[in-house]
Amino acid sequence: MRDHRFSSLADIRRSGEDRYSAVLAQFGTSGQLLYQLAQGQDNRPVLLRRPEATEVASYQFDGPIANRAALETVTQTLAVELAGRLQSRGLISRELRLILYLEGRDVWQERLVMRQPTSNPQRLTRTLNELVARAQARSGITGLEVILTGLIPTTGQQLDLFTHGAEQERRLHQMLKDLVVRYGADCFCRVSLFDREIPLPERRFRLQEVEPL
């Protein structure tokens, strides 16, 4: 019998039951499923596909602009708006995409996966401005769009050890005062930069005693 090669499910269906072994020979273990599909048989459960959650904000200029400062003002406004939406939903985003619409219907876009997911407006603004700095706009910008994806619940997020807000700074200073009163100032030191040009990192800094409160 001449060897037959199947190129579609319709081809398998037309072959009849006598070609079942040929289907297995060509497709291996997946041949059985392909043969069943060709006969209109599929017992696999239907899975519901949910669209990926996103937050989108856009802005249309009255006319083409080329002023980076004006562009960054708009990105800050959009970052604050998007941050507010995320925080109201208890979400943070780990991926950001910036789209610039240019004269002549050209489009420039770039995405950035953030090291630490966030809903902080300042961080979103800085990230957007980083992308703006990379933009290769050969003509005036007529509008822009910001898309946040990779949205996850705020609960259980990993905190950044080196990022401190004003409230965190206040609490740290208050805690230091309490510890100094309890244990004495000679038990604590502050780290200060001594010389950033020194090659060895451990020698760039000095320890200074905390003054008694």
pLDDT tens by residue, the chain, 213 residues:
445 677 777 777 776 666 777 877 777 777 788 888 888 888 877 776 666 789 999 999 999 998 888 999 999 999 999 999 999 999 999 999 999 999 988 899 999 999 889 999 999 999 999 999 888 877 899 999 999 999 999 875 555 555 555 667 777 777 888 787 777 878 888 888 888 788 777 788 888 887 765
Distance CA 210, CA 182 (A): 14
Distance CA 54, CA 162 (A): 28
Per-residue pLDDT tens digits for 132-186: 988 887 789 999 999 999 999 987 555 555 555 566 777 777 788 878 777 787 8
Distance CA 86, CA 118 (A): 9
Order of strands across the sheet with 91-102?
Answer: 55-65, 141-153, 91-102, 107-118
**Which residue, chain included where needed, has tokens 């200073």?**
173
Direct distance between the N- and C-terminal alpha carbons of the chain, in angstroms, rounded to an integer: 98
64: exposed, middle or buried (C-beta count within 10 Å: 0-12, 13-18, 19+)? middle
Distance CA 70, CA 66 (A): 8
- What integer pLDDT is reported at residue 165 of this predicted model? 59
- What integer pLDDT is reported at residue 147 of this predicted model? 96
Distance CA 93, CA 100 (A): 20
Percentage above 90 pLDDT, the chain: 38
Spatial contact of 35 and 23, defined as CB atoms under 8 Å apart? yes
Q: What domains can be seen in the chain, in order of their start residue?
A: 1-49 (no CATH), 55-153 (3.30.1490.100), 166-209 (no CATH)
- What integer pLDDT is reported at residue 1 of this predicted model? 41
113, two tokens: 């996966």
Distance CA 157, CA 161 (A): 12
Spatial contact of 60 and 135, defined as CB atoms under 8 Å apart? no
- What integer pLDDT is reported at residue 157 of this predicted model? 54
Of the candidates 144, 143, 82, 145, the one whose C-alpha atom is nearest the C-alpha of residue 118 is: 82
pTM, full prediction:
0.53
The neighbouring-strand residues paired with 64 are none
